[in-house]
Amino acid sequence: FTIIIIIFIQGISVYLSSPYYFNYQNIFLPQKFVLTDSWSYGIFEATQYLNSLPDARNMTIWSDRKAACYYFVGNCIMSRKIDANKQLPDYFIVTRRGVLRHHFKWSDIFTAPYSVDTIYSDKILSNPLWQFNILDRRENYIKIIDAHNLSDLSFVDDVENMPRPIFPDTICNITNFGAQSTLTRKQIDAKEDVAIIDNEKKENAQAFEEAIRECSEKGGGTIEVPSGLWYTKAIHLKNNINLHLSKDATILFSDDPDDFLPVVKTRFIGLDVYNYSPMIYVQNAQNIAITGTGTIDGNGKTPIWDSFIGNQKKPIRKLYNMSLNNVPIEDRVFGTIEDALRPSLIQFYNSKNILIDGIKIIGGPMWTIHPVYSKNIIIQNTDIKTLASNGDGIAIDSSENILIKNNILSTTDDAIVIKSGRDEDGWTQNKPSQNIVIRDNVVTHAHAGVGFGSEMSAGIQNVFVDNMQISNADRGFRLKTTLGRGGFIKNITIQNSTIINPGIKDALSLNMNYGSSTIKPKTKKIPEFKNISFKNITITMTQKTNYHDIIIVDGIKNNLSHILFDNIKTNDENATTTIKNSEQIRFNNVKNANYFIKNSKDIIIINDRCSAITQKNSKNISHLCEE
C-alpha cells in the first residue's frame, strides 16, 4: 500500500509539471523522450568552456538561459532585438529548454547581415562547437554554436528538391527533317571537300531549326538526335523542348564564326553585349532540357577561335568603356572579326526550369555551360572536358537556384565558377548569383576546382559546396576579386572535400587583390567577403613541392571577415597559412606548421599542436594549443 501511495504522489508531481512532465533526474522516463523544465543544468560547464578560450573577456555571447550571464567572464546578452551590424555575438548558448519554450526566430532576434530561419534549426544545432548531454540523454543538451560559422542553409533543401522539367510525348527526329550524317570528323577537320561539308552543315542546321519549330508549335516535345556525327551551325532552343542525344550521337559545331550570326543578347566576362550566338542558345524560355548519353562537341580548339584570343584585348576595352559610359546594350553590337569576342558553348539567357543530364561535352571556344540571368537549373551526371584557353566548365552568371551534382570535369580554367557581372554592368543589373548547391562532383584537372569571381559586382551569396573530389588543380577552392569591383561574397559553406596535388598554388584561397584581371576597374569600390566557412577539408600532396602556402587570406582594409577554417588536414609537414588585411578569422584544428599574419586582428587559432606564428602590425592574435 505504501508503494502505491508513493507512486500516486510521484504521478501527481509529474502531472503538475505540465507540459514538461519530466526533468533530467526523473528515472521513469525513457531516455529518448526526455523533456525538461529545469533551470540551468550544464550552463556552468558551457560557460567554463567559453571562459577557457583565448581572449574570452573580449568576446560576446548570447544565451537563452540567464545563468550564462552570471558565469561568463565576457559580455553576455539576452535581448530579443539586436542590431547585428553593431553587436554580433561570437557564440550562442542554446538549450533544449530554449527550443521547447521559446522557438526564437533568428529574424526576431537579429537584423542583417545574417539571415537564418531559426537559431534552433536542425541544420544549425547539428553542428555545434561544443555539446553537453545530461546523463547521456541525447535530448537533454546544452550546445555552443559558433556565430562565425552560422550559414543560412535554408535554401539547400529547396534547391535539391526543385522539380525537373516535364515534356509532352511528341518526338521530332532530326532525320525526318533532312539531317544527314555522312561525314567523319577527319574529313571535317581536313576540309577535304568544302562544298560537301558546307552543304551538310547547312542542311543539318535547317533540320534542327525545323524540328524545334514543329515540336514547339505542338506544345513542346523531344528533339531526337540519333547515333551519328551531326555537323551544324548554332542551335536555338524554345519553350518545352528536350534536346536528346542518343548513344553514339555527336553534335559537332562549326568553327566558322559566321555560322553563329546574327548576333544575340549575351554576356562576355561580365559585360552585357550583342555578340556571336552561343552554339546552343536559349533566350526568354522555360522548361528546357539537354539530355541523353551522346556528345556535344564545341570544336573550340581551332586556329580561327585561337586567333580571337590574341585579338580580343582591343574589343574588350571597347566594350568595357561602353559599360562605364552606360551605353545601352542595344548599341553594343559586336560579332565581327575585328570585334573578336568568343561565344560560350551552351547558354541560357533570362530563362528558367532547365535540366542538363547525362551528356558528354567537349568544350567550345571559351566557357562551356553558361547560364545568365536564369534560374531553376539542374546540371547533373555530365562529363565535361575543355581544350581552349579560358575553358571554364560550368560558369554560373547572375543566376539563382542552381543544382550542380555528380559531374566529372577536366578543364583548362575553373571547373565550376560563380560570377555576377563586372563593375558597372554588375551594379546596374544588380542580379546576384545565389542559392547554389554544388555536391558530389569530381574534378580531374582545372585552374580552380570551384571558383568565385573575379566578376562578382552584383554579389554572390548562399552557396553550399559538399563532397568535392579535386585533383591536379592549381587551387582547390578560390574566391577572388579586386579593388574597384565592389559587390560581395557571403554565406558560403564548403565542406567534406578532398584536394590532391593543388599544383604550385594555395589549396584554399580568399584573395581580394587578384592581379590578373583582364581589365582593371576604374573605381575604388571595395568588395566584401564575409561569413565563409571551410570544414572537413583534406589536402594531400603526393609529390614534393617548394610551395607550402595551403591557405591564403588576403583582404582589403579588413573587409574580409568572419571566416572559419575547421578541421583542415594535410600531409604537408611544412604547411603554411598567410593572413593579410583581415579580421575575425578562426582556425579550429587546422594542421598547419606556420602562420604569417600581417595588418590583421581578432585571429583565433585553436589546435592540438602548436604552430609558429609570425605577425606584423596585427592585434588580438590568440593561439590555444597543446605542446
Task: Specify the pLDDT at position 20.
Answer: 44
Check if the beta carbon of residue 584 is closer than 8 Å to that of residue 597. no
Residue 191 has pLDDT above 50, yes or no: yes
Tell me which residue has cell 582591343.
314
- Dist. CA 596–CA 372, nearest whole Å: 39
- The mean per-residue pLDDT over the stretch 258-278 comes to 98
- Dist. CA 385–CA 50, nearest whole Å: 49
Task: Specify the pLDDT at position 14.
Answer: 58
- Greater pLDDT, 586 or 277: 277
Task: Specify the pLDDT at position 116.
Answer: 39
Tell me which residue has cell 529545469.
38
Distances (CA, A) of 101 to 66, 76, 508: 14, 21, 41
- The mean per-residue pLDDT over the stretch 225-232 comes to 98
Question: For the chain, which residues make up each domain, given as ranges?
Answer: 16-150, 156-381
Residue 485 has pLDDT above 90, yes or no: yes
At a CB cut-off of 8 Å and minimum separation 6, what does 217 contact?
Answer: none
Q: Where residue 125 falls among pLDDT bands split at 50, 70, 90?
A: confident
Q: State the cell numbers at 66.
A: 540567464
Residue 27 has pLDDT above 70, yes or no: no
Task: Specify the pLDDT at position 19.
Answer: 45
Least confident of 253-257, 313-317, 516-520: 516-520
Query: H or E segment at 305?
Result: helix 303-311
Angle value at C-alpha 164, between 163 and 166, nearest 5 degrees: 115
Q: Report which of 521, 450, 526, 522 is spatially closest to residue 488, judged by C-alpha positions.
A: 526
Check if the beta carbon of residue 591 is closer than 8 Å to that of residue 611. no
Amino acid identity of residue 336, one-letter, is: T
In angstroms, what is the C-alpha Rg of the chain? Answer: 28
Residue 344 has pLDDT above 90, yes or no: yes
Residue 368 has pLDDT above 90, yes or no: yes
Give me the chain's average pLDDT, please.
Answer: 88
Task: Specify the pLDDT at position 79.
Answer: 64
- Dist. CA 499–CA 542, nearest whole Å: 11
Task: Specify the pLDDT at position 105.
Answer: 45
Longest dimension (CA), the chain: 108
Check if the beta carbon of residue 380 is closer than 8 Å to that of residue 403. yes
Alpha helices for 325-452 (secondary structure H): 423-429
Beta-bridge partner residues of 60: 75
Task: Specify the pLDDT at position 42.
Answer: 80
Write the DSSP symbol of residue 118.
B
- Dist. CA 226–CA 135, nearest whole Å: 65
pTM of the complete model: 0.84
At a CB cut-off of 8 Å and minimum separation 6, what does 34 contact?
Answer: 22, 24, 96, 137, 138, 139, 140
Handedness of CA 333, 336, 339, 343 (dihedral sign): positive
Task: Specify the pLDDT at position 35.
Answer: 45
Q: Buried (b) or exposed (e) across 169-201, using 16+ Cβ within 10 A?
A: ebebbbeebebbbebeeebbeeeeeeeebeebb
Task: Specify the pLDDT at position 420.
Answer: 98
- Dist. CA 383–CA 367, nearest whole Å: 15
At a CB cut-off of 8 Å and minimum separation 6, what does 198 contact?
Answer: none
Query: H or E segment at 384?
Result: strand 383-385
Task: Give percent of the chain with pLDDT exceeding 90.
Answer: 64
- Phi and psi at 190, nearest 5°, equal -80, -15
- Dist. CA 345–CA 528, nearest whole Å: 31
Neighbours of 529 (CB within 10 A): 29
User: Tens of pLDDT along 424-470?
Assistant: 999 999 999 999 999 999 999 999 999 999 999 999 999 999 999 99
Report helix, strand or coil for 70.
helix
Angle value at C-alpha 444, between 438 and 448, nearest 5 degrees: 60
Q: Could you tell me which CATH number the domain at 156-381 has?
A: 2.160.20.10
- Dist. CA 610–CA 591, nearest whole Å: 9
Report helix, strand or coil for 243.
strand
Residue 25 has pLDDT above 90, yes or no: no
Check if the beta carbon of residue 495 is closer than 8 Å to that of residue 537. yes
- Dist. CA 355–CA 226, nearest whole Å: 20
DSSP codes, 189-242:
HHTS-HHHHHHHHHHHHHHHHHHHHHHHHTT-EEEEE-SEEEEES-EE--TTEE
- Dist. CA 592–CA 22, nearest whole Å: 47
Check if the beta carbon of residue 357 is closer than 8 Å to that of residue 289. yes
Tell me which residue has cell 537556384.
401
At a CB cut-off of 8 Å and minimum separation 6, what does 436 contact?
Answer: 159, 396, 400, 401, 402, 404, 418, 462, 463, 464
Strands 594-598 and 612-616 turn out to be parallel
CA distance from start to end of the chain: 63
Task: Specify the pLDDT at position 207.
Answer: 98
Q: State the cell numbers at 492.
A: 558560403
- Dist. CA 460–CA 534, nearest whole Å: 16
Q: In what order do the strands lie in the sheet with 91-95?
A: 75-77, 60-63, 91-95, 141-146, 130-133
DSSP codes, 138-194:
TTSEEEEEEGGG----HHHHHHHTPPPP---S-EEEGGGGT------HHHHHHTS-H
Neighbours of 367 (CB within 10 A): 32
- The mean per-residue pLDDT over the stretch 589-610 comes to 86
Tell me which residue has cell 544565451.
63
Beta-bridge partner residues of 82: 110
Residue 297 has pLDDT above 70, yes or no: yes
Note the Cα 180 to chain centre separation in Å.
41
- Phi and psi at 25, nearest 5°, equal -85, -10
Q: Where residue 107 falls among pLDDT bands split at 50, 70, 90?
A: very low
- Phi and psi at 125, nearest 5°, equal -70, -20
